[in-house]
Structure 1
């Protein structure tokens, strides 16, 4: 069995990012990975503007201003946001200005309105002002043609706001990986089928499809394949010829009906991993083909999800062209219950994590704890990790926790 960290490193060192790109519009860029660094022809801010509601003025006119001896200035115009100033300021003049308003020529400071008193077309200023006070200078946040967003990042709402503000209308992104998914097992039926005695509903394919889509990849569900070597071989051959990654569940252990590893070899694949020292999820297969990667996950529902979160999601991220934040996020938390494991494999116990008084607390899921029981997996958001050799962690002790949402 390969240690968990070694398996992670082997997988990520093997994956080669896709290189095909496509241009997309701003409306279609969410969740995509930037293929090229983005620049803009605009400065940001576009022009000198006010960071406050108040008055634009000349700082040298206000050097003597104080609460006891205010300076009186003539108000020559009003400048709301989006309106171009009409007059340059002369000595003894000010302009009423609002947040975002463009600074008029001659002005070099902003006095916030709390330090002023308006009287008709005049304003009393009760404090001195320094050059540049409350002014957002043109290009102070970003200068045109400089790198704006780097390649290899996943685009979400903040980046979309930046792209929109800087009028980046067409963005080059990597084409998303195509991920085929199938489940194997004679006992499996679809969720909409009538359940007969001895049968099991295939929940893995539904869950994995959504997890794949959440990584920004294209999910291609292939359905349930019966435990017949010819059917499995045909399905895998078709999938590896048309996909960047293939994910199957079931058929990778050592049972009489577990054919997948032999079939992968027959089809020209190289088995890189066939078991990992992880619980749940020991029978994990990772194989490589010239133009495709294959993940054979365990059939037990919790095992399938844990191995996806731990190994497959990072692989999809790297294949997609993402350059950072590939691996899961780990934090330290105090467990609120005793945690136990056999100690022979790195053990992942699912539950909930929450921040209480500045510290993370982990609550292990209640009910029967089994890789075949996905019922108590609902609403969980973290996995507590017990290293190899650790059989027991007391309540209130610190434990490493992997975030899964």
Structure 2
């Protein structure tokens, strides 16, 4: 039974990120949200594209206004008005000014902008009542970015700010990594789909839906493989089909030591190398992690296999702790693969037997800039899916720690956005 940190390190070492040349695809800017950039972006445009005004006011020559004051204002001839989007028509000469609006191109000869609050217009002349700083309110061409230099690096997730930069740079198409394909298999004779009438002893397969949602939220493409009964040949056929089409396979159930737990022996018969068999974590101890080399798969690429526990809470905790970081690394994301941990003040006594690293689920709140953890009410059984609803944090009790009292700090694995403090 491996410690959690060792299991995590083994799993991340097994992950080979998608390849830029083999796994890149071109998408339009409008469909690029939350995709991972597979090639660096370089623009042929300077930012700003030209010298422009950062203020509504008057473009002037600094030499004409450097000594002016409220008592001795400078009087300049207004030779033109330059709104945003219009090219200047005059070369500014000594004693001249141009009315200019925010974002408009600076006219040749001007080097400074005087904000309009420090001026008064009188016909075709303007009075300047305060001496500005040299270059005041001028945004110089290429001061934000110089054409030909790297604009956005590979391996970043494209969010709104990056898309705005790409649009401004006139990059209508970008190269991103394809979405990793994740096959999801549920195992067990007792499982039925939500639309079936339950018979005594049967359970609805909730794992298929929860894991598919988590896979999609991570940016990968879930492939639903359905429910496979506890029969070795059927399971072997399903796993073989999954590794032929997916980059990662997730199965739930069949990885413990029961009479009908066949996953590990089937993986070995198909040529996989087992790297993890159990982890010192509660819930989620039975975790099988294996890798198929490229030579063992029909599509000649390596495939990572996660055999998750069948109990719903155990399956989800295992995903959050081990699978999600692996999918992030696989996706081509350059960094920030790992789980996000925060320190929070517990609003309840947190207990464990101290034998394994224990995860207790609940709600994480942000209160006056500090995190608080509220333990979910009810039984913290790995089979109790009901009180897992609305979970956004997992409080962690390390090995040997049997109690974290109310009011003490606790390490929390963040699995969702913190909520607003409850009333």
Asked if residue 296 in structure 1 is aligned to residue 299 in structure 2, the reply is no
In the TM superposition, residue 308 of structure 1 has moved relative to its aligned partner by: 0.7
Matched positions, count: 405
Which stretch has the larger CA shift, 240-249 or 51-60?
Answer: 51-60
The 3 A distance-change label for structure 1 pair 168 and 195 is same
Which residue in the other structure is 1:62 paired with?
65
Which residue in the other structure is 2:286 paired with?
283
Report the 3-state secondary structure (helix = DSSP H, G, I; strand = E; otherwise coil) of the residue aligned with 2:152.
coil
User: What TM-score does the superposition give when structure 1 sets the normalisation length?
Assistant: 0.97
The 3 A distance-change label for structure 1 pair 70 and 364 is farther
Listed one character per residue, the Cα deviations across residues 337-389 of structure 1 (whole Å, up to 9, x for unaligned) are 11111111111112222222221112122222222122222222111111111
1:140-289 residue pairs with structure 2 within 5 A? 140-289=143-292
Asked if residue 394 in structure 1 is aligned to residue 394 in structure 2, the reply is no
Asked if residue 22 in structure 1 is aligned to residue 25 in structure 2, the reply is yes
Partner Cα distance (2:87, 2:227) in 1: 65
In the TM superposition, residue 18 of structure 1 has moved relative to its aligned partner by: 2.0
Which of these residues, 351, 355, 361, is aligned with residue 350 of structure 1? Answer: 361
In the TM superposition, residue 72 of structure 1 has moved relative to its aligned partner by: 2.3
Report the 3-state secondary structure (helix = DSSP H, G, I; strand = E; otherwise coil) of the residue aligned with 2:5.
helix
The 3 A distance-change label for structure 1 pair 392 and 165 is same
Gaps of 5+ in 1: none
Runs of 4+ in 1 over 3 A off after TM superposition: none
Listed one character per residue, the Cα deviations across residues 63-91 of structure 1 (whole Å, up to 9, x for unaligned) are 12223332222222222221111112222
Partner Cα distance (1:348, 1:98) in 2: 58
Listed one character per residue, the Cα deviations across residues 161-199 of structure 1 (whole Å, up to 9, x for unaligned) are 111111112222222211100111111111122222222
Partner Cα distance (1:170, 1:276) in 2: 44
Report the 3-state secondary structure (helix = DSSP H, G, I; strand = E; otherwise coil) of the residue aligned with 2:58.
strand
Asked if residue 39 in structure 1 is aligned to residue 50 in structure 2, the reply is no
Which residue in the other structure is 1:367 paired with?
378
Asked if residue 123 in structure 1 is aligned to residue 126 in structure 2, the reply is yes
Which residue in the other structure is 1:88 paired with?
91
The 3 A distance-change label for structure 1 pair 376 and 67 is farther
Which residue in the other structure is 1:319 paired with?
330
Partner Cα distance (1:114, 1:362) in 2: 52
Partner Cα distance (1:362, 1:295) in 2: 29
Which residue in the other structure is 1:338 paired with?
349
In the TM superposition, residue 116 of structure 1 has moved relative to its aligned partner by: 2.0
Partner Cα distance (1:363, 1:14) in 2: 35
Query: What is the alpha-carbon root mean square deviation over aligned residues?
Result: 1.4
Partner Cα distance (1:118, 1:264) in 2: 83
Which residue in the other structure is 2:388 paired with?
377
Partner Cα distance (1:72, 1:280) in 2: 79
Listed one character per residue, the Cα deviations across residues 225-253 of structure 1 (whole Å, up to 9, x for unaligned) are 11111111110011111211100011111
Which residue in the other structure is 1:76 paired with?
79
In the TM superposition, residue 282 of structure 1 has moved relative to its aligned partner by: 0.8
User: What TM-score does the superposition give when structure 2 sets the normalisation length?
Assistant: 0.93
Which stretch has the larger CA shift, 286-295 or 376-385?
Answer: 376-385
Report the 3-state secondary structure (helix = DSSP H, G, I; strand = E; otherwise coil) of the residue aligned with 2:267.
helix
Partner Cα distance (1:366, 1:76) in 2: 74
Partner Cα distance (1:205, 1:282) in 2: 20
The 3 A distance-change label for structure 1 pair 360 and 232 is same
Partner Cα distance (2:228, 2:90) in 1: 77
Partner Cα distance (2:31, 2:163) in 1: 10
Listed one character per residue, the Cα deviations across residues 94-142 of structure 1 (whole Å, up to 9, x for unaligned) are 2222221111111111122222222332222221112221111111111
Report the 3-state secondary structure (helix = DSSP H, G, I; strand = E; otherwise coil) of the residue aligned with 1:148.
strand
